[in-house]
């Protein structure tokens, strides 16, 4: 009777261990969201692309697998084993406003913490800031795909791949490209040519070696890695770590995408089915007006200019209609003065029906002052007339 709850407990406990120890996953596109932990500009688009940056300048975005992975296997004695090997494959694409100029880039990250809120955008790629760059307390390993030369980090070119530990100054870097399996020749690749490409990152725990390999989608994983560097991951990663991506924009509008991603501990990353991938959107509509605006904007501005011209004409005509002209004698006679506008209205616009008589210097009209309703006679003196008393 006592053994049943105990065995149930044991089953539950082993189930719990299995559930918490995620060792591998594959995203052939992110449709459905993939439950990733996103921050900043990072979103999963309706067609299943992980968009790390959205075209707005000087921002950052991160996407991490929702739960941290266990990098040190707990041993029977309660201690912790050496760090485990890891392998990942992903497909990325960078779409910039300009063909040959972009914002810094994106990076695959293994980090103790999934919180990069104090990291900066632009050249810091959402990984560090000026104060903590390179500090061993950062606890991250990153593989950067960088399209900007930053002298402060010793960048080699505006099209390089680097292995970074705790900071942006790479421990190893090379121009983007791959070694052809048949000829052994190096083939340049462009990070910025708006074409999706595949990257593999393999960490061999026994050799303490990080390998980075990349190739166009149609090329299988090349045998010779682009980069191979000794990294003591035990010193970087403690028991658990988050895996994911970090990216940022500088002053050039650009978007950084991850199209597919697979990961495995202690074995090669599951292969990605590239025929299933969502297409990389190759246009960026930032800072260029939309087609509707392109049509409406000229019409709207032409209408505005016409309306303003008509308004100016009307005001000018109105001013001329009621224009005041001061005679010398008026200045001498002081302030008692009716406005021309009032006299105009009092005499119905000097209409012939109000004409009382024709004098030597001008016409005399009968009128009624608008407010006081006082009857008046108005003599209209011709300005051309320079004779007699005005």
Ligand X SMILES: *[C@@H]1O[C@H](CO)[C@@H](O)[C@H](O)[C@H]1NC(C)=O
Annotated binding-site ranges: 380
Of 74 and 235, nearer to ligand X (C-beta) is: 235
* H-only helix segments in 160-290: 233-236
Q: Please identify, among the stretches 146-154, 190-198, 295-303, 332-340, the one whose residues bind ligand X according to the rule CB under 6 A.
A: 190-198
Encode burial over 336-346: b for 16+ CB neighbours within 10 A, e otherwise.
Answer: eeeeeebbbeb
Encoding tokens for residue 79? 């201690």
DSSP H/E element including 13: helix 3-20
Number of residues that bind ligand X (CB under 6 A): 29
Binders of ligand X among residues 330 to 359 (CB under 6 A) are none
CB count in 10 Å sphere of residue 172? 18
Given 110, 146, 202, 244, the residue binding ligand X (CB under 6 A): 202
Given 3, 7, 118, 137, the residue binding ligand X (CB under 6 A): 137
Three-state DSSP at 190 gives coil
Least distance from C-beta 280 to ligand X, angstroms?
Answer: 10
Distance, CA of 296 to CA of 16 (rounded, Å):
61
Does 157 help bind ligand X (rule: CB under 6 A)?
Answer: yes
Does 188 help bind ligand X (rule: CB under 6 A)?
Answer: yes
Q: Please identify, among the stretches 50-58, 326-334, 351-359, 381-389, the one whose residues bind ligand X according to the rule CB under 6 A.
A: 50-58
| 3-state helix/strand/coil string of 289-351 | CCHHHHHHHHHHHHHHHHHHHHHHHHHHHHHHHCCCCCCHHHHHHCCCCCCHHHHHHHCCCCC
Residue 18 region, left (φ>0) first, then alpha (ψ -120 to 50), else beta? alpha
Of 176, 163, 166, residue with least CA distance to 211: 163
Given 113, 139, 193, 390, the residue binding ligand X (CB under 6 A): 193
Least distance from C-beta 54 to ligand X, angstroms?
Answer: 4
Of 104 and 225, nearer to ligand X (C-beta) is: 225
Does 388 help bind ligand X (rule: CB under 6 A)?
Answer: no
Residues of this chain that bind ligand X (CB under 6 A): 41, 54-56, 59, 132, 135, 137, 157, 175, 188-190, 193, 195, 202, 204, 209, 211, 216, 224-225, 228, 232, 234-235, 273, 275-276
């Amino acid at each position: 009777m006592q053994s049943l709850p105990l065995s149930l407990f044991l089953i539950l406990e082993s189930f719990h261990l299995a559930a918490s120890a995620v060792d591998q996953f594959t995203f052939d596109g992110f449709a459905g969201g993939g439950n990733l932990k996103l921050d900043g500009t990072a979103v999963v688009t309706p067609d299943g692309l992980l968009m790390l940056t959205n075209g707005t300048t000087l921002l950052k975005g991160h996407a991490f697998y929702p739960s941290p992975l266990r990098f040190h296997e707990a041993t029977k004695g309660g201690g912790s084993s050496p760090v485990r090997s890891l392998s990942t494959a992903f497909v990325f694409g960078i779409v910039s406003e300009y063909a040959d100029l972009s914002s810094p880039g994106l990076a695959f990250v293994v980090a103790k913490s999934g919180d990069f809120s104090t990291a900066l955008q632009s050249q810091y790629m959402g990984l560090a800031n000026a104060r903590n760059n390179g500090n061993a307390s950062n606890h991250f390993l990153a593989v950067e795909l960088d399209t900007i030369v930053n002298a402060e980090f010793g960048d080699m070119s505006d099209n390089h791949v680097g292995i970074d530990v705790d900071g942006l100054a790479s421990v190893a870097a090379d121009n983007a490209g791959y070694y052809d399996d048949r000829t052994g020749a190096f083939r340049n690749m462009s990070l910025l040519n708006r074409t999706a490409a595949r990257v593999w990152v393999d960490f061999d725990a026994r050799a303490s070696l990080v390998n980075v390999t990349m190739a166009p989608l149609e090329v299988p994983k090349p045998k010779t890695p682009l980069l191979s560097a000794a990294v003591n991951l035990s010193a970087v990663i403690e028991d658990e770590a988050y895996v994911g991506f970090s990216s940022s924009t500088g002053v050039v509008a650009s978007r950084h995408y991850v199209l597919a991603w697979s990961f495995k501990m202690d074995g090669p990353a599951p292969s990605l089915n590239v025929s299933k991938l969502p297409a990389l959107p190759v246009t960026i509509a930032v800072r260029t007006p939309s087609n509707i605006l392109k049509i409406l904007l000229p019409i709207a501005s032409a209408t505005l200019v016409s309306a303003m011209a008509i308004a100016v004409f009307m005001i000018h005509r109105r001013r001329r209609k009621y224009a005041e002209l001061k005679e010398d004698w008026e200045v001498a006679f002081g302030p008692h003065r009716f406005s021309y506008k009032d006299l105009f209205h009092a005499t119905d616009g000097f209409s012939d029906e109000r004409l009382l008589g024709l004098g030597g210097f001008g016409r005399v009209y009968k009128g009624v002052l608008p407010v006081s309703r006082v009857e008046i006679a108005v003599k209209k003196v011709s300005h051309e007339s320079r004779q007699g008393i005005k």
